[in-house]
C-alpha cells in the first residue's frame, strides 16, 4: 500500500508542479476565457514563443490543458471546467492564508478601487431594474467567445474614447477575467475620474458562467 500511495502522490505532485509558475497561472487565466493559439498567448503575455510553448507543454503533461492543430497553428484550451475551479480555489486559499496577498492588493489594486465589488446576485437584481450598464473590458476576442448577457464590449484602451456612448444616469459595472484582473480596477478608476458611478463585479466572467448565470456568445452586441 505504501508504494501505491507514493505513486498516487507523485501524480498529485505533477499538478502542483504545473501550477508552480506565475506565468503558467497567467496562461490558465487567459485560457479560461477562450481557446487561444500559441501566437495569441505570446502577444497577450509578452513571453517568447519558446517560453510560451514550454509552459504550455508542462500544463499539457499535467492534463490541465488540451491542444489541437489547425493548419500551421496550435490552439490550446482548458482540459476541463474544473481546471478553472482549481485556479479560483488556489487564489481564494492564497488570499486566506498568505498576508502578502492582502499587502499586494492594498498596494497595487486598492489605490484604483477601494470599494467592495458588487455580487452576481446584486448585479442580476439591478439589471432587472434597468439601473446598470454592464461593461466587458476584456479584449474583443474574449468577449466574442462568451460574455455576461447584455454586457457591452468596451476594452480598456478604448474606454476613454467610447465614454460618450455609454448611457449616463446609470451605475456602470465593469468586469474582466478573474478576481484579481487589473482591467476592471483600471476601468472603474477611469470612469470615476470622469464623474461616472462605477463598480467592479465580484470575480470575472468564468466565475459568472460557472455559477450558471445568463451568458451571451457571438458577435459584439
Catalytic residues: 176
> Distance (Å, rounded) from C-alpha 221 to C-alpha 12?
43
Q: Which three cell numbers stand for residue 170?
A: 446609470
Q: What is the 3-state secondary structure (H, E, C) of the chain?
A: CHHHHHHHHHHHHHHHHHCCCHHHHHHHHHHCCCCEEHHHHHHHHCCCHHHHHHHHHHHHHCCCEEEEEECCEEEEEECCHHHHHHHHHHHHHHHHHCHHHHHHHHHHHCCCCCCCCECHHHHHHHHHHCCEEEEECCCHHHHHHCEECCCEECCHHHHHHHHHHCCCCCEEEEECCCCCCHHHHHHHHHHHHCCCCEEEECCCHHHHHHCCCCEECCCCC
Q: How far is CA 152 from CA 51, 55, 113, in A?
A: 34, 33, 21
Amino acid at each position: 500500500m505504501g508504494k501505491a500511495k507514493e505513486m498516487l502522490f507523485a501524480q498529485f505532485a505533477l499538478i502542483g508542479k504545473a501550477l508552480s509558475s506565475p506565468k503558467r497561472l497567467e496562461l490558465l487565466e487567459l485560457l479560461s476565457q477562450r481557446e487561444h493559439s500559441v501566437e495569441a498567448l505570446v502577444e497577450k503575455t509578452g513571453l517568447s514563443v519558446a517560453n510560451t510553448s514550454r509552459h504550455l507543454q508542462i500544463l499539457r503533461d499535467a492534463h490541465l490543458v488540451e491542444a489541437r492543430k489547425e493548419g500551421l497553428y496550435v490552439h490550446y484550451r482548458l482540459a476541463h471546467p474544473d481546471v478553472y475551479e482549481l485556479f479560483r480555489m488556489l487564489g481564494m486559499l492564497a488570499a486566506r492564508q498568505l498576508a502578502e496577498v492582502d499587502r499586494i492588493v492594498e498596494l497595487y489594486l486598492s489605490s484604483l478601487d477601494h470599494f467592495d465589488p458588487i455580487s452576481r446576485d446584486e448585479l442580476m437584481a439591478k439589471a432587472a431594474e434597468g439601473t446598470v450598464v454592464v461593461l466587458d473590458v476584456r479584449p474583443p476576442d474574449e468577449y466574442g467567445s462568451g460574455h455576461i448577457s447584455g454586457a457591452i464590449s468596451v476594452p480598456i484602451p478604448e474606454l476613454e474614447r467610447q465614454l460618450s456612448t455609454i448611457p449616463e444616469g446609470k451605475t456602470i459595472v465593469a468586469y474582466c477575467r478573474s478576481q484579481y484582473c487589473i482591467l476592471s480596477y483600471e476601468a472603474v478608476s477611469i470612469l470615476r475620474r470622469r464623474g461616472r458611478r462605477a463598480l467592479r463585479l465580484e470575480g470575472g466572467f468564468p466565475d459568472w458562467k460557472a455559477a450558471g448565470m445568463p451568458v451571451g456568445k457571438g458577435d459584439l452586441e
